[in-house]
Amino acid sequence: MPHPPIASRQPLSIQQLGRVRTDDYAWMRAANWQEALQHPARLPAPIRAHLEAENAYTQACMASAEPLCARLTEEMKGRMQDDDASPPVPDGPFAYFARYAPGAQHPQFVRQTRVGGEEQVLLDAQAQSEGKAHFSIGDAQHSPDHRMFAYALDEIGSEAYVIQGRDLLTGESWADPPANSSGNFVFSPDSRFIYWVWRNAQSRPLAVYRRPVGAGADQDVLIYQEQDEGFFVGVELTQSRAFVLITTGNQESSEVWLIPASAPEAPPVCFTPREAGLRYDVTHWAGQWLIRTNADGAVDFKIASARLDATQRAHWRDWQVHAPGCFIIELSAFRDYLVRLERVDALPRLVVRNAADGAEHTIAMDEAAYDLSLTEGDAFDSNIARVIYQSPTTPRHWYDYDLASGTRTLVKAQQVPSGHDASAYEALRWTAEAADGASIPITLLRRRDTPLDGGVPVLLYGYGSYGMATPAGFSTPRLSLVDRGWIFAIAHVRGGSERGWGWFLDGRGPKKPNSFSDFVAVAEALCARGCTRPGALVAYGGSAGGLLVGAALNLRPELWAGVVAAVPFVDALNTMSDATLPLTPPEWPEWGNPLEDPDAYDLIAGYSPYDNITAKAYPAVLATGGISDPRVTYWEPAKWVARLRDQTQADAPILLKMNMDGGHSGASGRYAALKEIA
């Protein structure tokens, strides 16, 4: 093996709330880190040299695997339709879709007339990306009158978007587009304005501006300014296009402001003021407001109703009562029907309600594990909802579902050009028992001819934060592992919402350690059931999932053959103690505030992966990062790797792959992403 780079230890003593800790690698956090986010080349030379040495070491260690990686990349490309296109979404006289030219990394955005089928390319992202190290499109949408097309563009990876626009009649581009945006924007329903979200110097989306379409920054009007830096701001349209909604909130509380479509220049009006612990979002439907909320102890949420002219909480009335164990995720409104997405026992379902008589019917599937969702952009005046169904064994299928008759029409099935026999694979849903008796769902994917004889290698994925559930969807790259005799497993640990919002609450704040012990319990259960054995599991998690696998690595290093930690949140105590970082104040409700709360300090100090590395035999580790990442700053994986390498008593490689030109999402482009996966 080549010799790894040795990071210099420069001990920094940190005193906080009467506690003292020492950080040997604090020097990796550049003093000009905010500047480096936007301009990676300005990273100080010593730090850049160290990261480049880490990349060289990783490349040298992985040299023998390069032929396999190349073979895997081509194999995965073979399962990807080269000229793929999204199903067209009808809107007025046009249908809108995105498609890839053969060999293209990025799509074209296209529309065609619904009568005659004449095509117009709205944006050729592949052509625009040529020569750029990073290129990603965020939100992209057309104006309601179909004259304008706008899209959010990030050419650095720092998620500081510029909202580019183009007049589809004249072909002219906006001369002075909104910059330093979160990428979130909407057109006013009358197509005269855009409302866009601005980010401050800490990359926090905190304000909404209104601008006449095509105008310059001198005509921006500030219409909402969030005063709490722990709240993040967004903007959206109701599906009825009758209101613009400004949303703001954190993981515990939320607030909505309204602008009527009939008066796009009117100041926003608060729906109901924020209250600590009150979460709500609103849907305009059938001449009323429907409010999805956790009010009155509705842990898994209920639906309340309110008159259009009486939106304060005192006027809310129960419309769909709280049913523990039935988590109401979101509502989708059509003129004559309402569709709600729910999750029961870790599986999703869609419930359709008729506005005329209140009758309901349910859309669900029979597989042991699957994912079911609605696409965005369905026409409000239509009775057709576009439903996407997939499972670990079944590629994505897009259906047009008739809400009135209950019939469905297949619009598109995901193609696997190199071939896919779903019957050759099996998706299983198991459970593991947590230390406190909780039942943890596990989704497994294997070839049917893979024996469960205790010797099978397993890639165990987990996330478990922010109430985000990990769907049991279809992934062609996973097949490259499964076809080689691996089992791919998902541990649906607490901190997600697979078993409802209470599942999230039991894995956050003071209860965060449940996430880590759940992940270990799943690994142990897979061994106990004869699926695999200790030392044959690889743990895989990204971002907050990196915290999960990093903590599990410290708890039970002997369980793992290796750990893959993608842009991992592993320096939790230092990050949550630095209020200048983009996500720190907004995430205190999730983790606790160690600057003010001694209990939160001690809790985080007890599990933070970086702070709990000790002298022991660690397995192989691969960590990734990105210089431009505003979510998990580059120094977190860099410091973690340095300390692991310093403390490990084994000779397994500990590697860091730093993207010197990208951010949290890694390489941009569909084929470049496959190389990273390989």
Catalytic residue, candidates 518, 571, 629, 668: 629
CB-facing half-sphere around the CA of 416: CA atoms within 13 A:
19
Rounded Cα–Cα distance for residues 405 and 8 (Å): 69
Name the burial class of residue 13, with classes exposed (0-12), middle (13-18) and buried (19+) by CB atoms within 10 angstroms of its CB.
exposed
Rounded Cα–Cα distance for residues 135 and 127 (Å): 11
Rounded Cα–Cα distance for residues 68 and 387 (Å): 37
Q: Any bridge partners for residue 352, and if so which? A: 339, 361
Rounded Cα–Cα distance for residues 554 and 460 (Å): 16
Rounded Cα–Cα distance for residues 436 and 451 (Å): 31
Catalytic residue, candidates 188, 664, 665, 668: 664
The residues, ordered by sequence, that sit 6+ positions from 620 with a Cβ below 8 Å of its Cβ are 561, 562, 563, 652, 653, 654, 655
Determine the distance from the C-alpha atom of residue 222 to the mean position of all C-alpha atoms in its chain, rounded to a whole number.
29
Q: Is 84 a catalytic residue?
A: no
**In terms of DSSP H, where are the helices of 452-555?**
476-482, 501-505, 513-528, 544-555
Q: Is 480 helix (H, G, I), strand (E, B) or coil?
A: helix
Q: Taking Cα atoms as reference points, which of 551, 555, 592 lies closest to residue 571?
A: 551
Rounded Cα–Cα distance for residues 386 and 469 (Å): 21
Phi, psi dihedrals of residue 643, rounded to the nearest 5°: -70, -40
Q: Which residue has the tokens 């649906």?
A: 492
Q: Is 465 a catalytic residue?
A: no
Long-range contacts of 466-469 (CB under 8 A, 24+ apart): 466/251, 466/495, 466/504, 466/544, 466/590, 467/251, 467/495, 467/496, 467/497, 467/501, 467/504, 468/496, 468/497, 469/343, 469/346, 469/496, 469/497, 469/498
Encoded tokens for 75? 């194999």
Contact of 403 with 384, CB cutoff 8 Å: yes
The residues, ordered by sequence, that sit 6+ positions from 266 with a Cβ below 8 Å of its Cβ are 259, 260
Encoded tokens for 667? 């390489």
Q: Taking Cα atoms as reference points, which of 373, 376, 411 lies closest to residue 390?
A: 373
Name the burial class of residue 643, with classes exposed (0-12), middle (13-18) and buried (19+) by CB atoms within 10 angstroms of its CB.
buried
Q: Is 488 helix (H, G, I), strand (E, B) or coil?
A: strand
Encoded tokens for 611? 């702070």
Catalytic residue, candidates 543, 577, 608, 668: 543
Name the burial class of residue 602, with classes exposed (0-12), middle (13-18) and buried (19+) by CB atoms within 10 angstroms of its CB.
middle
Q: Return the HEC string of 230-289.
A: CCEEEEEECCCCCEEEEEEECCCCEEEEEEECCCCCCCCEECCCCCCCCCEEEEEECCEE
Which amino acid appears at position 598 of this protein?
Answer: P
Phi-psi region for residue 648, left (φ > 0), alpha (ψ -120 to 50) or beta? beta
Contact of 572 with 604, CB cutoff 8 Å: yes
Rounded Cα–Cα distance for residues 50 and 634 (Å): 12
Rounded Cα–Cα distance for residues 640 and 645 (Å): 9
Q: Is 336 a catalytic residue?
A: no
Residue numbers annotated as active site:
543, 629, 664
